[in-house]
Structure 1
């Protein structure tokens, strides 16, 4: 890795030896939110990136998949690779039917490009509105991309923080596809589930059955730290109210973590705390991702 592609100082590397989960995943379970980083120099990080992570390639991801007991992955394009989707697509192709991808594309994307991605296993695009991670993009660019992907049956993954939802809501209501919200819209878990910010998100899901949510990243949302008890009420509320529109994933290899690095086996053990009902567990981990990504 060249000097300019070395990992940022002070940032943590994923746990190389996660525990074997106590919770046995249902057969066919999908890790519906994970990433690949590089490895550089084969897949260099984007010049415009806001962070430089460690190398974490497809071989390590697939080894983790097997260790934890997942059958499949949904690999989400990470902002450190910008709109260069080669690492993600390479991983999808290597996994065959065991992986799907979410791409990051720009206004210049062509129908031919999209069809090539579809053949590789891509089934959606990600729109990132987290200001510390990406530069602002005009909303019309996103709307034009949405029109291009709609004929393929793709969906849109959106990443934002709770405080920005009020401003984004009119735009989200314009999108013509299924929308999957990353990490419950990043609620501030110190405010409680009754806070207007989280209630606004629940109301949006209630009013629009095309909106799904990933009940993911307790390690990123928690103030208390492991075992992330302060995040449980948020995830559990969404799972119980919208069991047919929820997804779960590890977020491996956990970019931008500075305070601690989670044990991915312990994250799997978090699942029954937010979905104690076996029927809800199966929907969360098997039925919903299979319907969205493999149907």
Structure 2
């Protein structure tokens, strides 16, 4: 088991990365009661900044958004399981995430970022506390990648395949119209963040979205239905995200998981309310069997609760 990290020096007050707003504090129950073992498959724990250093390469600076804060939200929404995803502000230092997983026990899973120096023993220790995937962020970073790093992905695959982990990609799928062909050499499961993270203003029928859908339908990939405010040119009611979510649900319901994207970092515009986001999701995917799959069954399969 990874040991709890030692306290670390406070982050510099003079950091130039822009400050993010925090999530809304008022907690409201959603209109729909979620299925048993409902899972939030995408959230970040941040801070305390007095203990954990942020990466100097970060593109934003968040307020403290602690595990205790999230657990209050989780209870209000009717969720019982969650997946912590390594935020870019910590680079490959997964200390916050691993410490939170130890507190969560079997109710938590994690997706980490690797720097390539981890030993096999360290990876096994991560697996033991609930890590089930590795995140590769190609867009929301200081130096975005213009190409898919296939060689790096294949190297990661070698490190994680024996553990049964997946690769989570944060990419704008519209940048890769032949995405399914480019990723054909990967054998581990692939997870796409934010429904493929379509660039703002791009038509949801873009070939890159079609390529992602083909990967989902083949059983090789999954998509996270998260961050509707990050997709499309408009705010609520998130018409572009709704169109994509419904299309995915109609064609590959068993390959989708839902996540809150709490605490909604780097939101340009009004901070969304988590109950409103969940209500919108249940309107886009209204059938009870769909909700059973989206919120519970699929996450159990992907994150090894099943």
Question: Normalised by the size of structure 2, how large is the TM-score?
Answer: 0.89
1:140–1:109 distance in 2 versus 1, CA, 3 Å: farther
Structure 1: unaligned runs, 5 residues or longer: none
SS for the counterpart of 1:194 is coil
Q: Mean alpha-carbon deviation: is it higher for 249-258 or for 136-145?
A: 136-145
1:71–1:282 distance in 2 versus 1, CA, 3 Å: same
Superposed counterparts of 1:174-189, under 5 Å = 174-188=185-199
Aligned length: 294
1:131–1:230 distance in 2 versus 1, CA, 3 Å: closer
> Residue 241 of structure 2 corresponds to which residue in structure 1?
231
Q: Mean alpha-carbon deviation: is it higher for 44-53 or for 231-240?
A: 44-53
> Residue 5 of structure 2 corresponds to which residue in structure 1?
none
Distance 1:141 1:189 in 2: 27
Counterpart pick for 1:140 among 151, 157, 166: 151
Deviation at 1:176, TM superposition (A): 1.9
Give the CA RMSD over aligned residues. Answer: 2.1
Superposed counterparts of 1:81-160, under 5 Å = 81-130=90-139, 132-134=141-143, 136=145, 138-160=149-171
Distance 1:203 1:265 in 2: 31
Superposed counterparts of 1:1-295, under 5 Å = 1-4=10-13, 8-9=17-18, 11-130=20-139, 132-134=141-143, 136=145, 138-166=149-177, 169-188=180-199, 190-206=201-217, 208-293=218-303, 294-295=305-306
CA offsets 1:258-286 (integer angstroms, 9 cap, x no match): 21211001111012222111101100100
Distance 2:300 2:14 in 1: 36
CA offsets 1:240-263 (integer angstroms, 9 cap, x no match): 211111000000001111212110
Contact kept, 8 Å, 1:243 with 1:280, in 2: the verdict is yes
